[in-house]
Amino acid sequence: MSETAEIDESLYSRQLYVLGHKAMLRLQTTNVLISGMRGLGAEIAKNVVLAGVRSVTVHDEGEVQWGDLSSQFFLKESDVGKNRAKCCEPHLAELNAYVQVASYTGSLNEHYLSAFQVVVLTNSSLDEQLQIGTLCHSKNIRFIVADTKGLCGLLFCDFGEEFVVSDPNGEQPLSAIVLNISKDNPGVVTCLDEEGHGFQNGDQVTFSGLFGMTELNNCTPVKIEVLNDYEFSISDTSGFMAYENGGMVTEVKMSQTFSFKPLSESIEDPEIVMTDSCKKEQHKTLHVAFQALHNFVQRTKRLPKPRGEDDAQLLIEIAKQIPWKCPVNEEVVRKFAFGATGDLSPVNAFIGGLAAHEVMKACSGKFTPLRQWLYFDALECLPEDASDCRLTEETCSPRGSRYDGQIAVFGSAFQEKLSSQKLFMVGAGAIGCELLKNFAMMGLATEEGGNVTVTDMDSIENSNLNRQFLFRPRDVGKMKSITAAEAVRKMNPSLRITAHQDRLGPETSDVYGYQFFSKLDVVFTALDSVEARVYVDGCCVEHQKPLLESGTLGTKGHTQVILPFLTRSYGQVQDSQENAFPLCTLKNFPFSIEHTLQWARDIFEQLFKTSAENVSRYFQDPGFVKNSLKRDSAEALGVLEEVYDSLVTWKPNNWTDCVSWARNQWERLYNNNVRQLLHNFPADKVLNSGKPFWLGPKRWPRPLNFDPDNATHMSFIEAAANLFAETYGIKGTRNHQEIAETLKIVIVPEFTPKSGVQIITTDDEMKEATEQSVDDNRLEEVRKKLDTLQKVGIFKMYPIEFEKDDDTNLHVDFIVAASNLRAENYYIPPADRHKSKLIVGKIIPAIATTTAAVVGLVCLELYKVIQGHKELSLYRDSFINLATADCFLFLPSAAPVHKVAGLDLKFTLWDHFPVHGYRDDTEMTVEELLSHVKKNHSLEVTDLFYENAAIYLSESKNREERLRQRVSEAVRAATKKEIPETLSVLKLIANIEELGLDDKLPPIHYSFRKAKPE
């Protein structure tokens, strides 16, 4: 496929932000073979098909067995006895209409394999791996081996002698502000950046927007040598002009070439990527254990029996005979042997996600490939007590059940425990779909008493289909939660699942309150909003429920285990506030494309949304002017003048007026305003400190002159004129020739910069300016003008809501043109539409491979939670970056312990004082509650609060009256509102005399009525 071929951006939009167009096009020219269609092979195939390669052929000579259903989500019980590849083919083909899917059941010979660019083996003998690996290496076919056995897995990659990677990490190129460049050999570049420039030795950079030393502007890439966090040296600059000010230095991504050893050589001296810093020696032992297992199977024609002591001992002996430079951990080999027949969906999801991403690297030539081995185990999922009597050869033996692959590892009793779990999952998008798939395979909530509740208020869009595995084209427009529930029931008809369409927040606390949370075992978040995650986390802390949190951002992903009394909560380590740019930077001193894009987004809101909304309010609300005058005077004047301008100064009568308005807006934004700024702050402006005003982040701008032959200039005019016309209900046109002809008759007034105009240079100045009152006469004058207009009658305007996903509405067109013109003002490199849309639309890049891997890891933590592990050292948080083949598993942070000064009281965020306040049909009084707390916790409560209301104050005049009231009566009296019927527990905050300013007691959870039956 040529690089001019089309890509379905409505389907691949989120993936394109990860791969880019060139890599995506290369992906679409690649034929992939995946051999072995048990759970791991299905996971890899699913992700590769969703990714959009040209063709995927699945190969398997074996038949479906009962144990396959433990993790093979494409198979049904009726498929037992049929060929695995044939059964999978139609399901894979349904995932992506752009991918050719075929099945193959014959032998893998040289002639057949030559048709593929990538070959993946998932269920092969070591002899077959060595034979095919040697063949692929000789023919430059990318070769991958992936395998899982119970709680252990491996991944191996061989991409040939010379594998060229166009972009090693997929990150946006680094950039920094230039503060100075010396005339020297070598020249030293000093950067202005609070956190340093971020470059590394050997990086190549280019410069733009320099005043002085212009020889470097847009030069060929220059290799650098880092001197410190803020300086680096470049080539000889002694013969260049002297540097004056301004400029940016930007990293240039350079390709890298990697060389791989074939499997036959690498297996003897492996380069192993560690996934868990606590298990370095375990990973080395697994390299031998997997080889020993191949030998065991060759001898016995079978895998070791689940929990078979004799088989485990034989595997240990075989492992000890394999030449290896490191000591073999016999206990690890024993545990490996005990679960080797196991087939676990979470392990397959993790290894399968990683393997599928390596396939994408092999196809696209983007991102750093795995070098060359990766081993993984989650053996800590097993019971804490190694001698647990529930794990025997009998309890782990096959039962002819779809869960045999899981029973082989954890035993039948644990499977029963899984079946009765009550889970709550918030979000049914990409992560939610993968979680539900794993739940179904694991047999969660499949018996009486078990249930999965999933809630999501969104409907399915076409772009979801590329990564939200449970949805198909026919589902577009349907609710995610309902559709996901229906799809996963087909995978496992026994799954008990309830679909809601609620947003979890204060407004639904009557639905998701104490009664709901008290019945849950575990909560999952599958959200893309930090704010929503923090809210769910707060609910789990309040109700003391485990929370398993996960998220992805392109090739990066994380998991976090949040356990009552053991770990920190999500909210303790997250900041839900988005970083905001300083207003003065956006308004007058931008120095990055992010600044100009945010500025353009703000201009869009001002011109096409807020002004129209205020006009509508002016006509519809008789008190609009009066209410506006209650604001601070500067804000009130701005709103009222905007309304007057929209109705008089700017109001168009026809399309020509709209073009005229757009042309004058262009002049105001990109010429007049900049000329006024330069008038106030000329090039030689010096601060009181003696330093130049235009230095560092303050970039010397230039006014632009309108050019009708400039595509960006005309794009602004076309978008602005049409959007302006739309707000007034006037029909526009996108005929470029017609717009150009209209521009010829537009009058653009001459502009002369004025003295005395105040321009804000810092946010502090901006704050002071807004706090200063404006001339009351101006306000009164505008008010009188509007009173006169009011008599004219009703006038309607149409506010425009910014919509990034409709490429025909000109919204993104306006943003891109407006931003890049401002970038040109300030010598900032422009951004293409793709990058601009990503930033201004706050789009989260996403790809199915990362989602699968992250969900696999979080479901492994679920095993531990259900096992009831008490030791924090057995749990893992994680961070992965598939672009660089990095995977870091680490111990969760322990819950901080707080101590109240002067009291022998220690507690964590998870603690509270439970009080059962009702007996028979009566309820505690406030006095009885205080006595209860004193008696049981030795605390003398002085004040008691509910939400923001004081229900008891020891120094108040109504103290005695409140003491006699029932607690719920006191709450009603203090809040002046009724308590919802669904609420049975009140969260009360107590104060005591001993509390310091920074001290805070755990809340009192006061049960005042019996929970309402569902």
Report pLDDT digits (tens) over 323-370.
Answer: 887 888 999 999 999 999 999 999 999 999 999 999 999 999 999 999
Q: What pLDDT does 773 receive?
A: 54
Distance CA 275, CA 890 (A): 9
Say whether 989 sits in a helix, a strand or coil.
Answer: strand
Q: Are 655 and 731 in contact (CB under 8 A)?
A: yes
pLDDT in tens, 262-285: 999 999 989 899 888 788 888 899
Please say whether the structural domain 605-676+695-713+722-814+821-827 has been given the CATH code 1.10.10.2660. yes
How far out from the chain centre does Cα 704 lie? 38
Q: What pLDDT does 1012 receive?
A: 56
In 858-1002 the beta strands, taken as DSSP E runs, fall at 877-881, 886-890, 898-899, 906-907, 913-916, 918-919, 922-923, 941-946, 949-953, 985-992
Q: Count, in order, helices (H) and strands (E) of the chain.
A: 35, 36
Written out in words, the top-level CATH class of the domain with range 175-252 is mainly beta
SS (H, E, C) 406-454: HHHHHCHHHHHHHHCCEEEEECCCHHHHHHHHHHHHHCCCCCCCCEEEE
Q: Are 460 and 446 in contact (CB under 8 A)?
A: no
Q: Is 584 a catalytic residue?
A: yes
Query: Length of the chain in residues, anyone?
Result: 1014
Active-site choice (157, 381, 540, 584): 584
User: Per the CATH hierarchy, to which homologous superfamily does domain 898-1007 belong?
Assistant: Ubiquitin-activating enzyme E1, UFD domain (3.10.290.60)
Q: Tell me whether the omega of the peptide bond preceding residue 186 falls within 30 degrees of 0, making it cis.
A: yes
Q: What pLDDT does 4 receive?
A: 44
Handedness of CA 38, 40, 45, 47 (dihedral sign): positive
Neighbours of 477 (CB within 10 A): 10
Q: Are 152 and 379 in contact (CB under 8 A)?
A: yes
Q: What pLDDT does 794 receive?
A: 56
Q: Name the phi and psi angles at 922, rounded to 5.
A: -110, 165
Distance CA 30, CA 362 (A): 9
Q: Are 99 and 8 in contact (CB under 8 A)?
A: no
Q: Are 475 and 483 in contact (CB under 8 A)?
A: yes
Q: What pLDDT does 614 receive?
A: 87
Domain ranges of the chain: 175-252, 605-676+695-713+722-814+821-827, 898-1007
Q: What pLDDT does 276 receive?
A: 87
Distance CA 657, CA 866 (A): 68
Q: Which residues pair with 476 in a beta bridge?
A: none
Say whether 935 sits in a helix, a strand or coil.
Answer: helix
Distance CA 560, CA 861 (A): 9
Task: Please check whether the two domains, 175-252 and 898-1007, share a CATH topology.
Answer: no
What kind and span of H or E run contains 156? Answer: strand 152-158
Distance CA 641, CA 587 (A): 20
Distance CA 419, CA 985 (A): 30
Q: Are 170 and 555 in contact (CB under 8 A)?
A: yes
How far out from the chain centre does Cα 548 lie? 15
Distance CA 274, CA 266 (A): 16
Burial code (b: 16+ CB inside 10 Å, e: under 16) for 586-615 equals bbbbbbbbbbbbbbbbebbeebbbebbebb
- The verdict on pTM exceeding 0.85 is yes
Question: Low-confidence residues of the chain, pLDDT below 50?
Answer: 1-4, 575-578
For residue 345, which of 524, 492, 493, 128 has the smallest C-alpha distance?
492
